[in-house]
Amino acid sequence: MKTDILRARLLEAQLDLAHRREQSVILLLTGHAVTHKGRLVNELNHWLENRHTEVHALGPSSEERERPYWWRFWRRIPDRGRIGIFIHGWYGDALFARAERRLSSGAFRDRLAEIRAFEAELAAEGVVLLKLWMDIDRSTQRRQLQALQKDPVRGWQLNDTDWQRHLQHAAIGALGREMREATAADHAPWRRLDFRDPADQLQRVGALLRETLVAPPDAPSVVPGVVPDVASSAPSIRLADSRSKAALEKEPYAEQLAEAQGRLAINAREAARRRIPVVLAFEGIDAAGKGGSIHRITAALDARQYRVHRIAAPSDEELALPWAWRFWRRLPADGRIAIFDRSWYGRVLVERVEELAPEAAWRRAYGEIREFERQLLVHGTVLCKLFLSISHEEQLRRFEARAAKPHKRHKLTEEDWRNRERWDDYREAIDEMFARTEAPGAEWALIACDDKRQARLRVLESVNQRLEARLVSPI
């Protein structure tokens, strides 16, 4: 295709993408040094409508370093309708750290597995991926480096890292092959560009990008989890069994509550001092008492340390991005506590039961959630997942009590009654959720809440235990 025609067609395809707002596109470039990635991105960028394009090439900020590794990429995912161009993106860290032996071979392979899961999740959510490996042979690279060094105009572009990467040319080449083999997929293909034919490059990349825009690959039906699906091996937890025994009297409750809150205050302060981030995810049956339990937690915390995130319907900005984005954006910085009042589990609970998400989407979510939680843990987050349950009869009593009290009536909606009618569907979804998302460090605490006092103490106990298990280690 002639350059002018290609350029016009590429722009046309981009405007169509922007107009439809159904998918976004990520073009990622990585590979050897001095392969003119920057120039290529610039030239391509001139072909595109830059109101719908963004380029990402910078290292992590302090806010990024204080959160799980993938946060820095999640926050840069383009909205539907936009094209994001990443230089090195999530490949550079792994590639160069491994080449310099700062990363073990096992850790490198783990990262590749994470990349596979990340890219599959994006692709399944409407992010179209195209990845370019920029190749150059060693002697051409040396000649380029020498020429650049002598060039009075462009010499500033050169730095020590480029020479270092030249010395590691063979290692980077081999690692690049391993990386491409491990992360190539129909939904996230690799293309190799050889530096020796630079005249052709822009044309080739433009054509590849246009093809991708015009005929994006099918989204993957399965997202490969880094954490295997453990379903059914974990015991299914029967909610009917969760009724608590004898009620707890007011006085021993007050005493035990004060003690548990005192413990929590000390634990939370120690977590802040050691800059350990904490995530509490509350799920539960309507009227089980999530709000009251969260209050008993926050009563023990310094208000400067935590934030409660009430998860309701997504905003329009959130709807323009993969579903998990709205949880990533709320992750706490190191030393801080995020309390989720309902959480990412809505995907496999309300969205499943109310058919807000197609079956393929919520089925896929189990693996996505396991991976999300694993990444929190890898970063050092203390994760507490609490499920508050009540019996069917107790729920009815509480609904009726709410309906009777004017100042509590706002807490009871039509939706609550509707959900109640679907009790069995929810139970099935809850059981499957437990079975598929139980993992070491991400265990569920099931709290029987028919007796509110006992429930609150058990919530506190559960959070305290989780924190103490972590704080027991000296660092």
CB atoms within 10 A of CB 23: 18
Cα Rg of the chain (Å, integer) = 26
CB atoms within 10 A of CB 413: 12
Residue pointed to by tokens 């027991």 = 472
Q: Using CB under 8 A, which of the segments 219-227, 239-247, 299-307, 360-368 binds a copy of itself?
A: 299-307
CA distance 167 to 161: 10
Which residues neighbour 246 within 8 Å (Cβ) at sequence distance 6 or greater? none
If one asks whether residue 150 binds a copy of itself (CB under 8 A), the answer comes out as no
Q: Are 283 and 343 in contact (CB under 8 A)?
A: yes
If one asks whether residue 53 binds a copy of itself (CB under 8 A), the answer comes out as yes
Comparing CB distances to a copy of itself, the nearer of 243 and 307 is 307
Tell me, residue by residue from 329 to 368, as one string, x for binding to a copy of itself by CB under 8 A and - for no binding: ------------x---------------------------
Figure out which of the listed residues 87, 285, 382, 446 binds a copy of itself, where binding follows CB under 8 A.
87
If one asks whether residue 4 binds a copy of itself (CB under 8 A), the answer comes out as no
Comparing CB distances to a copy of itself, the nearer of 87 and 175 is 87
Of 103, 168, 180, 70, whose CA–CA distance to 134 is shortest? Answer: 180
Of 133, 60, 56, whose CA–CA distance to 95 is shortest? Answer: 133
If one asks whether residue 245 binds a copy of itself (CB under 8 A), the answer comes out as no
Amino acid at 343: S
If one asks whether residue 85 binds a copy of itself (CB under 8 A), the answer comes out as yes
If one asks whether residue 315 binds a copy of itself (CB under 8 A), the answer comes out as yes
Burial of 312 (0-12, 13-18, 19+ CB in 10 A): exposed
Tell me, residue by residue from 31 to 50, as one string, x for binding to a copy of itself by CB under 8 A and - for no binding: -------x--xx--xx--xx
Number of residues that bind a copy of itself (CB under 8 A): 42
If one asks whether residue 317 binds a copy of itself (CB under 8 A), the answer comes out as yes
Strand order from edge to edge, sheet including 444-448: 306-310, 337-341, 278-284, 382-389, 444-448
CA distance 276 to 298: 17
- Give the HSE-up count for residue 265: Cα atoms under 13 Å, Cβ half-sphere: 11
If one asks whether residue 307 binds a copy of itself (CB under 8 A), the answer comes out as yes
Figure out which of the listed residues 1, 22, 58, 393 binds a copy of itself, where binding follows CB under 8 A.
58
8-state DSSP, 185: B
Figure out which of the listed residues 295, 392, 397, 418 binds a copy of itself, where binding follows CB under 8 A.
295
Residue pointed to by tokens 């491990």 = 182
**From the CB of 344, what's the least distance to a copy of itself, in Å?**
17
If one asks whether residue 304 binds a copy of itself (CB under 8 A), the answer comes out as yes
If one asks whether residue 303 binds a copy of itself (CB under 8 A), the answer comes out as yes
If one asks whether residue 291 binds a copy of itself (CB under 8 A), the answer comes out as yes
Q: How far is CA 429 from the centre of its chain?
A: 22
Q: Which residues of 44-63 are buried (b: 16+ CB within 10 A; e: fewer)?
A: beebbeeebbebbeeeeeee
Q: Counting every residue, how long is the chain?
A: 475
Figure out which of the listed residues 184, 215, 299, 356 binds a copy of itself, where binding follows CB under 8 A.
299
Q: Per CB under 8 A, which of residues 114..143 are in contact with a copy of itself?
A: none
If one asks whether residue 148 binds a copy of itself (CB under 8 A), the answer comes out as no
If one asks whether residue 286 binds a copy of itself (CB under 8 A), the answer comes out as no
Binding site for a copy of itself (CB under 8 A): 8, 12, 15, 19, 38, 41-42, 45-46, 49-58, 61-63, 85, 87, 291, 294-295, 298-299, 301-304, 307-308, 310, 315-317, 341, 407, 410
